[in-house]
């Protein structure tokens, strides 16, 4: 039986999630790293493997987008901060992803796009046309959305004879998160209340779009027509100063936030996603402890609780890396979790 050559993969961005996926790409014998795009000028020219503490691999990092577009690659792992953080909307990511798809490269992204239909026909048509032009496939993934708030609850409803309400809760502890851009600039921790209210607007838009995708995907899969997706958010202030990996959280600054997204039918929630983010879970006792909960109300009643995901960033990266083979084998077009075979970590299993 002939041995299949490794799939050629580009790593786009080497931030908090991208560093994990880059390490996985280099270590996987079924994958071949062919290029790395970076945003930090200090990384330009560096050996990609050395960025993640591995022996040199010979692939140099670049910030030249045209150079990446010209590469002959099977897939791009697209993992930058969302363009809505910089520009207030997702148009920048849509254009970049479309250009990659049209250039003949499949794309797996962690910036959303788990269900692009939720963005409207303009975005959907743009991405679909790019897939058609390049003969390529787009897949949006992550840990939440991408798994916890869509794939897992849909899998659980396979045991349901009636579904009344789907509830998903994520509580994440950012005490060890290394990125100040994510923890401070994006989520808004360490800011005073007024500064937070102004600075968090791009993140609010990103969150609303991101989880509306997830809620819409689940509803459509179950044949439910939503009237709207409602969003609310609130925050907590630190009572004393404490330090986290991304900096110092001062007393009176934002140390936790809670976001709720509800898909409504005739004014009643059909699916609710609650996201609680804590700068340090030990310093923010009001809301639930870190972990994930999925509750299916109906017949039968079901609840699944994951008490801890020790490395959430690693999980998000691994779900993307583990999707590469399935995405490259899929027919051209936009592929959600419903369109791909079960994604497992079979290529990464190690036995003692």
* Tens-digit pLDDT profile for residues 216-249: 999 999 999 999 999 999 999 999 999 999 999 9
Rounded to whole angstroms, how far apart are CA atoms 73 and 126? 22
Report whether pLDDT(7) > 70: yes
pTM, entire model: 0.93
Q: Taking residues 76-100, report their average pLDDT.
A: 86
- HSE, side-chain direction, 13 A CA sphere, residue 108: 29
Report whether pLDDT(209) > 90: no
| Token couple for 328 | 């490259």
User: Which has the closest alpha carbon to 148: 167, 124, 126, 125?
Assistant: 167
Q: How many CB atoms lie within 10 A of CB 231?
A: 17
Task: Give me the phi and psi of 83, to 5 degrees please.
Answer: -65, -25
Report whether pLDDT(312) > 70: yes
**DSSP state letters, 110-135:** SSS-SSGGGG-HHHHHHHHHHHHHHT
Q: How many CB atoms lie within 10 A of CB 162?
A: 10
Reported as a single tens digit per residue, the pLDDT across 133-145 is 999 999 999 999 9
| Token couple for 106 | 């499949």
Q: How confident is the model at residue 178 (pLDDT cuts 50, 70, 90)?
A: confident
Q: Taking residues 299-307, report their average pLDDT.
A: 96
Q: Do 330 and 101 form a contact (C-beta atoms < 8 A)?
A: no
Rounded to whole angstroms, how far apart are CA atoms 212 and 122? 17
| Residue located via tokens 């409207």 | 120
Rounded to whole angstroms, how far apart are CA atoms 351 and 332? 36
Report whether pLDDT(157) > 90: yes
- Per-residue model confidence (pLDDT) at position 350: 65
Instruction: For the chain, list the domains and their CATH numbers.
Output: 7-142+314-348 (3.40.50.720), 151-308 (3.30.360)
| Token couple for 119 | 């963005």
Torsion (CA) 129, 132, 135, 141 in degrees, nearest 10: 50
Rounded to whole angstroms, how far apart are CA atoms 77 and 219? 27
């Amino acid at each position: 039986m002939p041995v299949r050559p490794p799939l050629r993969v580009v790593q786009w961005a080497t931030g908090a999630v991208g560093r994990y996926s880059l390490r996985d790409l280099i270590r996987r014998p079924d994958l071949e790293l062919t290029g790395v795009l970076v945003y930090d000028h200090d990384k330009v020219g560096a050996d990609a493997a050395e960025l993640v503490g591995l022996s040199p691999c010979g692939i140099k990092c670049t910030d030249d987008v045209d150079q990446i577009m010209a590469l002959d690659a099977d897939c791009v792992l697209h993992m930058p901060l969302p363009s809505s953080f910089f520009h207030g909307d997702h148009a920048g990511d849509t254009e970049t992803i479309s250009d990659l798809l049209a250039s003949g490269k499949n794309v797996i992204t962690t910036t959303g796009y788990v269900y692009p239909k939720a963005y409207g026909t303009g975005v959907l048509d743009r991405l679909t046309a790019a897939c058609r032009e390049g003969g390529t496939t787009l897949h949006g993934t992550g840990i939440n959305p991408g798994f916890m708030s869509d794939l897992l609850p849909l899998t659980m409803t396979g045991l349901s004879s009636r579904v009344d309400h789907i509830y998903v809760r994520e509580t994440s502890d950012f005490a060890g998160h290394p990125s100040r851009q994510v923890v401070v600039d994006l989520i808004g921790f360490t800011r005073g209340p007024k500064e937070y209210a102004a600075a968090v607007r791009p993140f609010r838009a990103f969150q609303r779009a991101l989880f509306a995708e997830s809620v819409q995907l689940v509803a459509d899969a179950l044949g439910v027509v939503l009237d709207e997706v409602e969003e609310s958010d609130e925050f907590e202030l630190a009572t004393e100063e404490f330090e986290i990996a991304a900096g110092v959280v001062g007393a009176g600054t934002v140390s936790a936030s809670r976001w709720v997204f509800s898909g409504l039918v005739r004014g009643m929630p059909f699916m609710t996603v609650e996201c609680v983010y804590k700068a340090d879970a030990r310093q923010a006792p009001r809301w639930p402890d870190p972990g994930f909960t999925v509750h299916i109300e109906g017949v039968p009643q079901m609840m699944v609780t994951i008490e801890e995901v020790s490395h959430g960033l690693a999980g998000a990266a691994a779900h993307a890396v583990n999707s590469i083979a399935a995405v490259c084998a899929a027919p051209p077009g936009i592929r959600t979790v419903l369109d791909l075979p079960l994604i497992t970590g079979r290529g990464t299993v190690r036995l003692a």
